[in-house]
Amino acid sequence: MRILHTSDWHIGRTFHGHSTLDALTGVLDALVEQVRTNDVDLVVIAGDVFDSAAPAAACYPVLSGTLGALADAGARVVVTSGNHDSAARLGFQSALLRPEITVLTDPASVGTPVTLGDEHGPVHVYGIPYLEPAIVRHLWHGVELRTQAQTMTHALDLVRADLAARGGRAVVAAHCFAAGVEATPGVEREIRQGGLDVVPLAAFDGPDYVALGHIHGRQQLSDRVRYAGAPLHYSFGEADKPRGSWLVDLDASGLRTVEWMPLPVPRPLVTVRGPLDELLTAERLEVHRDQWVRAEYTDPTPQPDPMRRLQERFPWCATVVHLPAVTRPDDGHGYARRVRAARDDGEIIDAFLAHVREGEAASAAERALIGDVLDAHRVAQVRA
């Protein structure tokens, strides 16, 4: 049996204020083509289908159209919910879907598989929706479920018990933060902070393949436990991570091969760094004109209107950060202390300029201008 493992579509997420629906639709079209050309039997979507619990109306046609196209390409489709999804919204229409499409969002169904078959016998697909311990612990009395680790381990115990009774091969789809994974800072909005909610790798023992979601970059925790990552880049922190899906082959004895299937990147992401004038004029940067750009300018002081100026050269410049190449060493004299030590308004302004300009105080010309303004202010107060 041939399986395509994908996850974390995040339909509806924006990228620095820009809609990603058109770009995502194009990438999902390419994923459908992967299914068609590789004779895929089963597509597993491991959670975070939507980016929020209340997606905009325009998000639903993207999902329904893609699911229908996957089924038309000849695949069974199994979808589970992630921590970004509303299980109720994602699953409410599951009974109305085509028989080739199954959406698993009910925690009570954990341990009950969707069963497919090939020439080697049955393949049981166990979908585990995102399980919030506080919400699902009432379903399983007598079991301590206070952490993700405990909850996912119990869910996999139910899978293992059912599989032992049924026999055959098994695939699990789940959405969690597994031990040993390398997260991208600022990208994955972690289910919880700290180590208590990290699921140990041993929890996934048993099934022939475990298709995980939640981490946006592809990762291999073992031969049979993997993250496919997101189909689009949703952060500059992901720029160096390839986009794609895992193509999994099962034979009579279980897992046979796993192959990475790359997906197109509609608009590459790049970070450019240097003085603002260099970013605006350097010929070597012209190649980035039609890419998403994060600009880090290194001038000693903040420059006027950098975003507008950069977007004139890079129309897809999404973010600008001032990161001075040389930073002032801490001399122990904080801004508040400098202000308290100032003897007049001119020295207060000078302390402020030194604070925001990495130690560069007012020049002689600036001090003269500041003096003129303060003198004019004093005259106006006297006349008032």
**Separation between Cα atoms, residue 255 and residue 247, nearest integer Å:** 11
Closest by CA to 5, choosing from 208, 155, 212, is: 212
Kindly tell me the burial class for residue 89, based on how many C-beta atoms sit within 10 Å of its own C-beta (0-12, 13-18, 19 or more).
middle
CB 125 within 8 A of CB 116: yes
Closest by CA to 43, choosing from 90, 5, 95, 69, is: 5
Amino acid at position 328, single letter: R
What mean pLDDT comes out for the span 374-379?
A: 79
Q: Which of 55-64, 228-237, 260-269, 331-340 has the lowest mean pLDDT?
A: 331-340
Kindly tell me the burial class for residue 108, based on how many C-beta atoms sit within 10 Å of its own C-beta (0-12, 13-18, 19 or more).
exposed
Q: Is the pLDDT of residue 274 over 70?
A: yes
Residue-level pLDDT at 142: 86
**Separation between Cα atoms, residue 18 and residue 316, nearest integer Å:** 10
What mean pLDDT comes out for the span 238-250?
A: 95
Helix (H, G, I), strand (E, B) or coil at 55: coil
Q: Is the pLDDT of residue 190 over 60?
A: no
Which two tokens mark 22? Answer: 């058109």
The percent of residues above 70 in pLDDT, for the chain, comes to 89
Residue-level pLDDT at 307: 97
Q: End-to-end CA distance of the chain: give it in Å, rounded.
A: 88
Residue-level pLDDT at 193: 44
Helix (H, G, I), strand (E, B) or coil at 290: coil
pLDDT tens, position by position, 127-180: 999 998 888 888 898 888 888 899 999 999 999 999 999 999 999 999 998 988
Q: What are phi and psi of 260, to 5 degrees?
A: -80, 130
The predicted model scores a pTM of: 0.83
What mean pLDDT comes out for the span 111-132?
A: 94
Helix (H, G, I), strand (E, B) or coil at 236: helix
Angle between helices 59-72 and 21-37 (to 10 degrees): 10
Which two tokens mark 146? Answer: 């206070």
pLDDT tens, position by position, 319-344: 999 998 776 655 555 656 766 776 77
**Separation between Cα atoms, residue 200 and residue 11, nearest integer Å:** 29
222 alpha-carbon distance from chain centroid: 22
Q: Strands 244-251 and 225-227: what pairing? A: unpaired
pLDDT tens, position by position, 50-66: 999 899 999 999 999 99
Residue-level pLDDT at 187: 59
Q: What architecture is domain 2-262? A: 4-Layer Sandwich (3.60)
**Separation between Cα atoms, residue 44 and residue 173, nearest integer Å:** 7
**Separation between Cα atoms, residue 180 and residue 365, nearest integer Å:** 58
Q: Which of 32-46, 84-98, 207-221 has the lowest mean pLDDT?
A: 84-98
